[in-house]
Amino acid sequence: MKSNRVKQGPVGAPVRSLFYGMGYIREEIDKPLIGIVNAQNEIIPGHLHLDRMAEAAKKGVLMSGGTPLEFPAIGICDGIAMGHEGMRFPLASRELIADSIEAMVLGHALDGLVLIPNCDKIVPGMLMAAARINIPAVVVSGGPMRAGYQEGEALDFTSIIERVGTYKDGKITEDDLEYTAMRACPGCGSCSGLFTANSMNCLTEVLGMGLPFNGTALADTGERIRLGKIAGIQVMKLLEKDIKPRDILTQDAFKNAITVDMAMAGSTNTVLHLPAIAHDAGIELELSLFDEISEKTPYLTKLSPSGIHHMEDLHRAGGIPALMKELSKKNLISTDCITVTGQTIGENISDAYVYDHDIIKPLDSPYRNRGGLAILRGNLCPDGAVVKESAVAEEMLAHSGPAVVFDSEEEAIAAIFDKKIKKGDVVVIRYEGPKGGPGMREMLSPTSAIVGMGLDKDVALITDGRFSGASRGAAIGHVSPEAMEGGLIGLIKTGDTIEIDIPNRKLNAALSENEIEKRKIEYVKPEPKVKTGYLARYSKFVTSANTGAVLKINE
């Protein structure tokens, strides 16, 4: 055990003294020391109940002969941070979460980890830490929120944010808006659609770092608490067998995750997080791999924001094990990958069954024959851009229109609400990338405003920033290189024609090479938006979106 280096023998007496001072007895000190990383706070609905999960995990560790030691992790709610300066921080906080866990674990020579996240950047941040530290670890998330209901209609966070646009368009009253607000998020848990949090919780399960049903068992159920206890038990078994995260996080495991991501049309943010986790596991995931896998992966589930179903429906239909079982029928899943259960993916899903083929389509009758996400390339994004193809109206899959250019999200939102955007326009929001933002803000507010005002079948939005997992419409993000790194998106002018061809994976500005060269000569790089504090440091070291926006030391 790693902890023996600091707690055993005569030289360990000072460390034991500190534990005695906290009330531990020698028998507890001598057992494996298991970190319980609890991201509970009273700000994020998805994290409000995580103390219950931590208590469950601690019981599991105790039952299996370990000593649980709880410590916290930060978490930022994307929904609360949305649409203002606060949105610069969520993606950047992913690195803080990973770094702080690394510091706590290595600083205290812990033997194993149970990681308890639930929302957007906290899940990948904890997975990055697990891959980096590489001691036995199990991730057990807090689980999804139930859908809300209003007069028989299922609601989620998307419903309320889109209705802000409907209100601004004069189609509902402020009282109508508040009525929906009180019903869209009925309790604790990660927001009920297949947004970024639930996408990552599901993919944690697919990667093998979470238990079966980690992604779909509801937050407010006994089933979720049982998962917490099993996670505590299982980390002790992993310690005994010396199974570590890098034994689980293999190239095939990441291919499995991308396959399921495409089959369920997860959040576009997964294209940021999976490469970042892989980077800490010593694996390079090329952006082209996402499109290669998408080409051969059928789209089998249609959850909000792409469809009407929610996480509770997917769980009822058999969850991620059932979806993987369906995909395995055509050998689209590597079933021999080891998982935190101590068994392989194949063994985990051997008894899985699809209970509702309206929610998980059969392989021979998919929604589409290729995956829900698409990687675009062209002169606007030679290093790639990402779109959730499954959430784009058929009318907008191929579109050509005049650019309306904004240098910030705030400018774009104001123009949309002032009805300055016309049918056929292509809204371009730049200087919102990892460096330019800094922090690569999500654009849920402008995309939801476009949808709420009934323009989602007529207007596209392109950005070097990113989108919420709740975004829908012709929303193309992660444009790389970003404007702050000299990408063409920084040279676009209002009135330039933008050509979008999602089926053929193309995104171009209709500009000649001579015109582009002329604009490069005339271009003046703007001052950084943030010059002090953490974000200023972050912007100096963060890489492009196409590499996962990881931090690298400039050499």
- CA dist., res. 257 & res. 281, Å (int): 15
Q: How far is CA 244 from the centre of its chain?
A: 23
Contact call for residues 1 and 136 (beta carbons, < 8 A) = no
Contact call for residues 119 and 80 (beta carbons, < 8 A) = no
* Nearest Cα residue to 221 out of 298, 156, 145, 319: 145
- CA dist., res. 412 & res. 67, Å (int): 52
Q: Residue 83: phi, psi to the nearest 5? A: 80, 10
> How many CB atoms neighbour CB 102 within 10 A?
16
Residue 18 CB partners (closer than 8 Å, separation 6+): none
Catalytic residues: 468
Whether the CA torsion 111, 117, 120, 121 is positive or negative: it is negative
Tokens 């944690």 sit on residue: 204
Q: At what angle do helices 196-207 and 270-280 cross, to 10 degrees?
A: 40
3-class DSSP assignment, residue 429: strand
Tokens 């095939």 sit on residue: 252
- 86 token code pair: 């606060």
- 301 token code pair: 């589930």
Cis peptide bond N-terminal to 481, omega within 30? yes
